[in-house]
Structure 1
């Protein structure tokens, strides 16, 4: 019996050719492929006749983690060629790797990410030896651009150097042990017939060693299933996991776009696979010229001749029979880019296209990426969410292009809005809200949407199927995940809660209140926390439009945010800080929560006690001292400790004596204006204290005093004006006092001028000192 283990680089045309020719020559009993073993019963789905690229998408969801993983295939993927050639030769096909939901894949979302990138030292040494920039150029130089004869030996040598004697990490060790069990079982089952194994070249040395060694215990020697083949791991009972084929695209496959696999420029390698290196190079030049001309960039025939000449010269210099990918790219860059570049060329450093690249360079990488989008065969099984969402969208006429307007006061339109928001929350492309309410208390009652067909909609729905079988279940799970991952990011928590309201969710699961409480309890930004509390409380109290009034999740946020604001404010020490309206607004939000939301756990007694301590804390900012004085006085009842809050008149005198009257009053007026407006209130005292300020002290205090009195609405300011006129025995309307036709700065400057003139008149003996005062 012969065992042939082919180590490949994923998405390599040269490796795919080797796999196809080896299987055709050996006609093996089994073809074993690095891929998810839980798909073995469904390999027939892979061979239905899809338009590539496609991918196996696996989703996993439990209380601890949500994981999504892709195993992409294109025509020149060695794994796909193994499926095609193996089926054609009559071999039995098996995937032999752990399922993608397994914890061995917890740190990656792509099964075929290049392992050698984790062994950069060996790659760097080889790049220096061959005089190339990176592993992509190295691979083309030693594999893709060389004759097919001897490619197997070159691959073995390459991966032996990359792997060396280094031990793999724990995840790869578990995978290799599991794959070795499949190889042993296939050898036993095949008898005298050959077995061909196609795996990432990084794993080949370890698998050969494991298969040759006697049993060593551990995962490799776990009991086999009843058929003699290794058992396929099953997800935990409390978890949801599933795998489905999804359409893929060259753009998602491209390393320049961030894909983790090692082969960039999929359109170039597709041409290399179909037509060879000479035609691939010619197509690349033509495609780049076409893209640039379409965008109005001048590309002359002389430029193209110069690019081809440079590419051929570089190929000869680098020892290539035909121009390789980097030869063509370098030739194009030399002919089309005349300016100095601020960033390295993307094919020289390997990775995504960074900002600041020359437009011609961007078009080069785009031309190499290509526009191909896969298409599944109509008989391909799809997850329940696809069918559920399709029915919902068709029922409401949302499956076609349009610009629907939704009236949120109409129950039928509100149902349409919720469907649209659910697909938006799941990141299904083609649905965009152009306008609508920004909060649940926003007076905007209509939404405007744009719906467009999108080539990636099916793939996105399949991938979202891991969250649940229906739009409602999937969107709720997605929002719950966002809440769990927000931590102390109040903006993210608020966005998730508002999305829940827009989707029509008032109950996101029993664990969500705990997540919300933990997230709010770690917040550190007092003003932001105040805004979140104010909006959440309003939604909890009033929102009938979106149905969030009385929501348990919002109630948890109200209680937790109130406690957190009180805790943060008590530790806020900045005695000289000016008044901050956002900081004061947080205290106002706590007041409203105590008054209106006692039923969700906002403790009135605790709020009064904290207010008393902060109001008396001279290290606290004056605006917070005033705000918490107002909070305590407004919440004071017979249960409060005696003497906790001084008389308002005494507190006001203390603020004026400390020189922080305006800031202190800003806090007080924002939270409690009643002490001023009450018949026996402090208005008369304020009039006396302000009138008793010297000219300089008054001008210094004026901006803060003006800010403090802006907390009174116009009608109340008019009342204050009328009382002040009456106190002076003057007639007229208080409203007239509010109609100042010049700015406060002009008034202050005029007062300063009056003061200066009076002082000079007094010094000249023209008026008495009493008159000047």
Structure 2
């Protein structure tokens, strides 16, 4: 029995070879099932999902959705079988349920596929993903692309365009006389025989399988053996009234005559793992991805339109595009729509296509509605060609207890999962927003990154919190993985925090965990974390580690009050860390090389910011905070005055004291004068300048100090002009790093100040006029740059007369 005769429906089962997620294939499957009326429908998919198939008829089930199978003992090992409204498998399932036909899956069970994904013996495909996907002739993971071979045979240079012309445009208004190659797979659209296209496609795939075998995938042989066994069992129960919907690549293998013994031999000894299966929502954006859990469809929104449009798909599509552009306040009239439809049709005729495809419609929209711009076209691609659809699954679908609790919380807090990224601004003074914040922080602690904080909390705190939310389908896997920690989000987050505290090895890890516990509102986990923090802090004598740990504790103390959290124990630990840093920091800052000094300067900035956030330091209330602040100021004074400390640290300490009002301007000028004196090596002086006026985590605008204090600017200018020529090259990189970090406006203002010289009224602060400024231009020094200018401008000859005075 040949592959073609098996598809006629007169003898043997009805083998319907499809391309997954193809609207043309979906329409053809529906027409074939209506014509043949089988009593059983077999579908390529995991048999563990058979019990879930009736849910497809639930009115609350809205595609795109996916079957999720994951290992019971390792939920992170998972596979998806996505289905959209235009997927042939989904159409076949809905048809069978509506007509009372038996429907079940016949692919290799997930218990084997999940185990094989971790077994190197079965990793025989290049780039293959454990996503439940199938090599259906699309070339995913195949060493040969069957569609590309067929398209090349038909004279096409684009496999996607060939498939769209021959299959996807069937029944959408294509002319009966299709493009070259269309007749090879059966009659064009409008022909009476709904099975002809499957017969032609089966013959084409049979020829390819004769040439290329299994395409380089041994696993396909095992899958096809299992499908043949399931097909035999169905035929015993239903005779020839059986229809099979599978990837077109598998049709020749299912039509092949083999023995039961041979097929069972291929399945013998396969690895196994216990699995659970459920339905989960899917998105068009995930369908459009070729890796991970995606299905590799470039234009799911366009495919969905082709499947749902009853007629005139191009006209209806252009109307959708016009509506979207109008919603974005772009001027699009009915005349634009008419002209775009005409242009798309003309382009299709010029290119020999039966109907305008996505390429023609995009070209027409760009030319007519977007005026040649790709900017609005990007919006059309994102919203319509790809689409932002997110499926829904009824509550009756199986789910882990943690997922059910999360769903309940999402409804209670009115946080609906959405495929599009959206901003969420929370006011923590409101009960609902505070609860939303706790939920998002608990999920992040569990590794379920539904929300990402947008913007950090800088300065002295805020009652507002920003989030970026986007729900991705694989988060269902993350929720299943987190289910081992508890049956509710609160219980799971608490258990996870306790476990992380017990396993953390670095002090900074525990302090960060303490901060997350406060943000997430986990009072039962905080005592365990605090004990681990106290133990680790007592044993860690590294000042760098203590400095890394303190900022997270200070933030926790500052913002814990917003959530009405008791932070007394945390305050005690934070104060102890700060005092230990005050004792150990001066010795730790001596004898450092350049890299170590830069790292320590970062610690200095972080600790300074943290000390200012400790309780009692902002308004003078609280003896403990005042004591820490005074101790810290004393440490900065010692660092600023100690010659054995690297210049970058001494300069930073002086700057921090000056900004806090604990160092008089005259004293700051004196320290700068000492650091920039002729007796200081140029490299050491440049490092001091980097620390004093360079940017940092707590002082990103260091250049503004020079803008507003001409005396300090004069000191820098005088030192810079006095650097010996042989040393200038050595200090130039450090100076460039310092001043290039300034904002462009600050650099421009400093340049104008230096060019202008001192103000007629004298310096902005009391004292003598700053040195280093000149009343007029030094022509000799200005002319020294002429050779460089000639090189940059490409001026020929040695005569510089024409350049003399160019800058005067």
Q: TM-score, normalised by structure 1?
A: 0.58
Matched with 1:177 is 222
Is 2:267 the counterpart of 1:220?
A: yes
Matched with 2:711 is 743
Matched with 1:11 is 21
Matched with 1:136 is 160
In structure 2, do the counterparts of structure 1 residues 443 and 329 end up closer, same or farther at CA, with 3 Å as the change threshold? closer
In structure 2, do the counterparts of structure 1 residues 444 and 753 end up closer, same or farther at CA, with 3 Å as the change threshold? closer
Matched with 1:467 is 482
Match of 1:272 among 289, 306, 315: 306
Matched with 1:93 is 104
User: Is the 1:272–1:279 contact (alpha carbons within 8 Å) kept by the matching residues of 2?
Assistant: no
Matched with 1:610 is none
Rounded Cα–Cα distance in structure 2 between residues aligned with 1:13 and 1:398: 33
User: Is the 1:176–1:207 contact (alpha carbons within 8 Å) kept by the matching residues of 2?
Assistant: no
For 1:308-332, what per-residue CA distance to the aligned partner results, in whole angstroms no more than 9, with x for missing partners?
A: 2222233334444433333333333
Rounded Cα–Cα distance in structure 1 between residues aligned with 2:416 and 2:306: 38
Matched with 1:187 is 232
Per-residue deviation, 1:255: 5.7
Rounded Cα–Cα distance in structure 2 between residues aligned with 1:755 and 1:267: 67
User: Is the 1:10–1:112 contact (alpha carbons within 8 Å) kept by the matching residues of 2?
Assistant: no
What is the DSSP-based 3-state SS (H/G/I as helix, E as strand, rest coil) of the residue aligned with 1:35? coil
Per-residue deviation, 1:504: 3.9
Is 2:438 the counterpart of 1:418?
A: yes
Per-residue deviation, 1:691: 11
Matched with 1:260 is 294
RMSD: 6.4
For 1:470-525, what per-residue CA distance to the aligned partner results, in whole angstroms no more than 9, with x for missing partners?
A: 213555699899999x999x99999777445422458999xx99xx9xxxxxxxxx
In structure 2, do the counterparts of structure 1 residues 96 and 394 end up closer, same or farther at CA, with 3 Å as the change threshold? closer
What is the DSSP-based 3-state SS (H/G/I as helix, E as strand, rest coil) of the residue aligned with 2:280? strand
Per-residue deviation, 1:141: 1.8
Per-residue deviation, 1:290: 2.1
Match of 2:384 among 367, 371, 379: 367
In structure 2, do the counterparts of structure 1 residues 743 and 124 end up closer, same or farther at CA, with 3 Å as the change threshold? farther
For 1:61-119, what per-residue CA distance to the aligned partner results, in whole angstroms no more than 9, with x for missing partners?
A: 78977255432323331111221233315234234343288155676474346651334
Matched with 2:132 is 111
For 1:221-268, what per-residue CA distance to the aligned partner results, in whole angstroms no more than 9, with x for missing partners?
A: 459xxxxxxxx9542xxxxx6433234454554469998334443444
User: Is the 1:50–1:374 contact (alpha carbons within 8 Å) kept by the matching residues of 2?
Assistant: no
Rounded Cα–Cα distance in structure 2 between residues aligned with 1:575 and 1:403: 40
Rounded Cα–Cα distance in structure 1 between residues aligned with 2:771 and 2:345: 88
For 1:375-425, what per-residue CA distance to the aligned partner results, in whole angstroms no more than 9, with x for missing partners?
A: 4456545543354235556777989999864359x9x99777533533576
Rounded Cα–Cα distance in structure 2 between residues aligned with 1:694 and 1:292: 62
In structure 2, do the counterparts of structure 1 residues 26 and 89 end up closer, same or farther at CA, with 3 Å as the change threshold? farther
Per-residue deviation, 1:139: 1.2
Runs of 5+ consecutive residues of structure 1 not aligned to the other structure: 224-231, 236-240, 342-356, 517-525, 590-629, 635-647, 672-687, 711-739, 757-773
Is 2:332 the counterpart of 1:315?
A: no
Rounded Cα–Cα distance in structure 1 between residues aligned with 2:599 and 2:404: 57
What is the DSSP-based 3-state SS (H/G/I as helix, E as strand, rest coil) of the residue aligned with 1:464? helix
Matched with 2:659 is none
Per-residue deviation, 1:335: 3.3
Per-residue deviation, 1:280: 1.2
In structure 2, do the counterparts of structure 1 residues 280 and 538 end up closer, same or farther at CA, with 3 Å as the change threshold? same
Q: TM-score, normalised by structure 2?
A: 0.56
In structure 2, do the counterparts of structure 1 residues 3 and 310 end up closer, same or farther at CA, with 3 Å as the change threshold? same
Output aligned runs, 1:323-362, within 5 Å: 323-339=356-372, 357-360=374-377, 362=379
User: Is the 2:42–2:105 contact (alpha carbons within 8 Å) kept by the matching residues of 1?
Assistant: yes
User: Is the 1:530–1:582 contact (alpha carbons within 8 Å) kept by the matching residues of 2?
Assistant: no
In structure 2, do the counterparts of structure 1 residues 691 and 162 end up closer, same or farther at CA, with 3 Å as the change threshold? same
User: Is the 2:647–2:687 contact (alpha carbons within 8 Å) kept by the matching residues of 1?
Assistant: yes
In structure 2, do the counterparts of structure 1 residues 337 and 746 end up closer, same or farther at CA, with 3 Å as the change threshold? closer
User: Is the 1:23–1:89 contact (alpha carbons within 8 Å) kept by the matching residues of 2?
Assistant: no
User: Is the 1:268–1:280 contact (alpha carbons within 8 Å) kept by the matching residues of 2?
Assistant: no
In structure 2, do the counterparts of structure 1 residues 188 and 253 end up closer, same or farther at CA, with 3 Å as the change threshold? closer
User: Is the 1:530–1:585 contact (alpha carbons within 8 Å) kept by the matching residues of 2?
Assistant: no
What is the DSSP-based 3-state SS (H/G/I as helix, E as strand, rest coil) of the residue aligned with 2:62? coil
Is 2:114 the counterpart of 1:102?
A: yes
Rounded Cα–Cα distance in structure 2 between residues aligned with 1:281 and 1:196: 33
User: Is the 1:308–1:331 contact (alpha carbons within 8 Å) kept by the matching residues of 2?
Assistant: yes
Rounded Cα–Cα distance in structure 2 between residues aligned with 1:193 and 1:210: 17
Rounded Cα–Cα distance in structure 2 between residues aligned with 1:501 and 1:216: 59
Rounded Cα–Cα distance in structure 2 between residues aligned with 1:579 and 1:372: 48
Rounded Cα–Cα distance in structure 1 between residues aligned with 2:201 and 2:525: 52
Output aligned runs, 1:546-625, within 5 Å: 574=594, 581-582=601-602
Per-residue deviation, 1:199: 1.8
Runs of 5+ consecutive residues of structure 2 not aligned to the other structure: 1-10, 119-127, 171-187, 418-422, 534-541, 610-634, 657-669, 694-707, 719-766, 774-808
User: Is the 1:247–1:459 contact (alpha carbons within 8 Å) kept by the matching residues of 2?
Assistant: no
User: Is the 2:106–2:230 contact (alpha carbons within 8 Å) kept by the matching residues of 1?
Assistant: no
Rounded Cα–Cα distance in structure 1 between residues aligned with 2:382 and 2:435: 44
In structure 2, do the counterparts of structure 1 residues 570 and 652 end up closer, same or farther at CA, with 3 Å as the change threshold? closer
What is the DSSP-based 3-state SS (H/G/I as helix, E as strand, rest coil) of the residue aligned with 2:132? coil
